[in-house]
A and B are shown apart, each in its own frame.
Chain A
Amino acid sequence: MAIEVRNVTKRFGEFVALDDVSVHVESGALMALLGPSGSGKSTLLRVIAGLEQPDAGEVFISGREATQLRPQQRGVGFVFQHYAPFKHMTVADNVAFGLTVRKRPKQQIRERVAELFHLVQLEGLGQRYPAQLSGGQRQRMALARALAVEPEVLLLDEPFGALDARVRQELREWLRRLHDEVHVTTVFVTHDQEEAMQIADEIVLVNHGRIEQVGSPRDLYERPANEFVLTFVGEATPFGGDLVRPHDVVLSALPEEDAEEVLVERVTYLGFDVRVQLALGDGRRFRAQLTRDESERLELATGQIVYARLVRRPSVSLAHELANDVG
């Protein structure tokens, strides 16, 4: 076991950031801490790194009790949300920092830095300053710097938060490949469920300082433990007194058994996907998600009457009054 967090509680004044949280991370895993902002996921990462002291509970890293250890002694690599580059040092000196303070021989440092530059594809940029790099390059520099000291675990705080959508997409794929190459136990924090599902083997969903569910991306999506998980991971819409996935709503032109008569209010084309906003006879609204082909077969248009039913069993029962609010 690479990381074990046992019953950790952390308060900031009156605010409870972490409430009796326990997490296990297997060696070599790639895990996402997913949750809305203010949920405590970053605090949990900082507690693992030793940048915050928990008020209660214990942290073990590679089987070693680490709760009282300072960040310097924990063998963790940490990548900050805004990369925290040492602005007055060159990119090469940034990457070499951990080795320099460990007083490694100069030749060894040079070789290791060259190796890392190759790994994160920053060759030829060593003599620049961080301010002269793009956001994506700065991110990779921060990663190389954290990896330089061969940490037992790599912790990343919202690693792609400050990048534009395209670079973010590229870096996600790159991080996944990097992990498959380097195999260092990695935990990253994100508020983006798509990012978590795309990169991680396992997701820990955090909300209000508590863990809602731990599981593979597929577990969380298909077997959500509660309504929060269902609505946070993927989309959900009220239908027939339940919260369901919009793509589990099946529309047909003719009446069917168990199908409700509904009015098409709005059709939105998103390329492969088509989102349809529908209203039941009593005015309650819900959404459906279809492929473009299905939508064309039904010739969906605003004002049309169609018949809706569920393709699978509903995931979560929902109090009836809630169904009026979501739409």
Chain B
Amino acid sequence: MIARVSLRAGVLAYLAAILLVPVGLVFWRTFEHGLHAPWAAISAPDARQAFWLTIEIALVTVPLNTVFGVLCALAIVRRRFPGKGLLNALVDLPLALSPVVVGLALYLLYGRAGWLGPWLTSHGVQVLFALPGMILATIFVSLPFVVREVVPVLREIGTDQEEAAATLGAGSFAIFRRVTLPAIRWAIAYGVVLTTARALGEFGAVSVVSGRIVGKTETLTLYVQDQYESFNTTGAYAASVLLALLAIGTLVLMTVFRPKEGI
């Protein structure tokens, strides 16, 4: 009993020290002089621009990574092909690689002296220091989450139900829509939530490829740092709180989506 209570106290104290106090401090510093100043700060045109840019990037990234993630998980679990092990390992690469390196890699590919940069520029496509580059960077760093959530569930449900559906006359798409998809929907939902959280919070890779043009290619995370460095702490705190609220929103969604029989 005592052991259990002290374990619980220990874990809570640790979480408080590591997570709650710092985040709480941000909230407190934001609102210590009332609501007016922070509201004004996040209503500023540059802040609003950063907010909507962040949302825009997430809206493109999350659906693309969801579709790719499900297809990739199906390929890894249900198909046999040469290079499957490599694909499985490659999917984890974004987790292992520092986002700054990802940004640099994109810079080398699409930059003025890069392999694709000059050709794309001559065709009027601007990747670097523009939305396409930021989306590419965000897709890269948030790639693994849907795959990693869906793969174990696909393995666990096995092929029996899909084979049964096939003998009953269902074609590949009908099998996916009526049998496989309902079985993996919670895993997909969970993966989507994690992907969203990662996309909203991405800093390093986007920082390298965006060029950080104020009011143009600044996402919320970049805006926070920018404001902080220009000694506009109110703006930095307010934008931080906005990011934190978005994160809390996705967390709440995650809790709602998590299957009840889970943890």
Contact = CB atoms under 8 A, between A and B. Distances in A.
Given A72-B170, A98-B168, A145-B168, A82 B160 contact: yes
B179 interface: yes
Interface residues of A, number: 26
A101 B170 contact: yes
A78 B164 contact: yes
B182 interface: yes
A192 B227 CA distance: 76
A51 interface: yes
Interface in A76-130: 76-78, 80, 82, 84-88, 97-98, 101-102
A46 to B, nearest CB: 9
A49 B169 CA distance: 12
Nearest to A88: B182
Interface string A66-77: 000011101011
B169 A98 contact: yes
Interface of B: 160-161, 163-171, 174, 178-179, 182-183
A51 B165 CA distance: 11
A76 B179 CA distance: 19
Contacts of A51: 163, 166-167
A164 B169 CA distance: 31
B163 A84 contact: yes
Given A72-B171, A82-B160, A101-B178, A87 B166 contact: no
B167 A78 contact: yes
Nearest to B164: A84
29 contacts: A49-B167, A50-B167, A51-B166, A51-B167, A70-B166, A71-B163, A71-B167, A72-B166, A72-B170, A74-B167, A77-B167, A77-B168, A78-B167, A84-B161, A84-B163, A85-B161, A86-B161, A86-B178, A87-B161, A87-B183, A97-B165, A97-B168, A97-B170, A101-B165, A101-B168, A101-B169, A101-B178, A148-B168, A149-B168
A209 to B, nearest CB: 22
Q: Which 3 pairs across A and B sit closest by C-beta, in order of nearness?
A: A84-B160, A98-B168, A84-B164
Contact of B163 (A80, A87, A101): A80
Contacts, number: 62
Given A101-B168, A146-B168, 4 more contacts: A80-B160, A86-B179, A145-B164, A146-B167
Nearest to A70: B166
B242 to A, nearest CB: 38
A33 B252 CA distance: 54
A55 to B, nearest CB: 15
A102 B174 CA distance: 10
Nearest to B174: A101
A72 B169 contact: yes
Contacts of B182: 88
B173 to A, nearest CB: 10
A88 B179 CA distance: 8
A102 B168 CA distance: 9
Interface string A133-163: 0000000001001101100000000000000
Contacts of A86: 161, 164-165, 178-179
Contacts of A102: 169
B170 to A, nearest CB: 4
B175 to A, nearest CB: 9
A71 B179 CA distance: 16
